[in-house]
Amino acid sequence: MLVLISGVLLIIIGIWAMLTRKNIIRIIIGFSIVDTGVHMIIVAIGYIKNATAPIIDSAVNTSSDISGAVHVNSLIVDPVPSALVLTAIVIGLAVTALLLSFAIRLYKVSGSLNIDDYEELKW
């Protein structure tokens, strides 16, 4: 619950940064803050009270029936959000690097990082 609220606050702060800052690098920092907030929300949704990590080792209480099938008795957290966030973080780094390389090329070509200097798409 607490982590959920702080994730929402991080998303709002990141969008605030993207809306008010003029510098392109600062806008990309806002994007990465939004990224972290979304990951926090997804992980917080998968949490279960007093549960252990989704790895079936000696810390997890298991029992097996006659046919040999193993049943997990104690609580573990939901593994699906973990699996989603795991890949999303790596993709987030690659996308951030792509945005930054766009910014570097813009600076090399036109010598400015201020978003107000790019008026081609304004109307």
Among 53, 61, 74, 118, which residue interacts with another protein (rule: CB under 8 A)? 53
Distance between CA atoms of residues 45 and 50, nearest Å:
14
Distance between CA atoms of residues 52 and 41, nearest Å:
19
Residues of span 72-111 touching another protein by CB under 8 A: 72, 75-83, 85-87, 89-98, 100-105, 107-108, 111
DSSP category for residue 54: S
Among 63, 114, 116, 121, which residue interacts with another protein (rule: CB under 8 A)? 114
String of contacts with another protein for each residue 30-49, x by CB under 8 A: x-xx--x--xxx-xxxxxxx
CB of 8 closer than 8 Å to CB of 100: no
CB of 49 closer than 8 Å to CB of 36: no
Considering the complex, state which of residue 81 and residue 120 has its C-beta at the smaller distance from another protein. 81
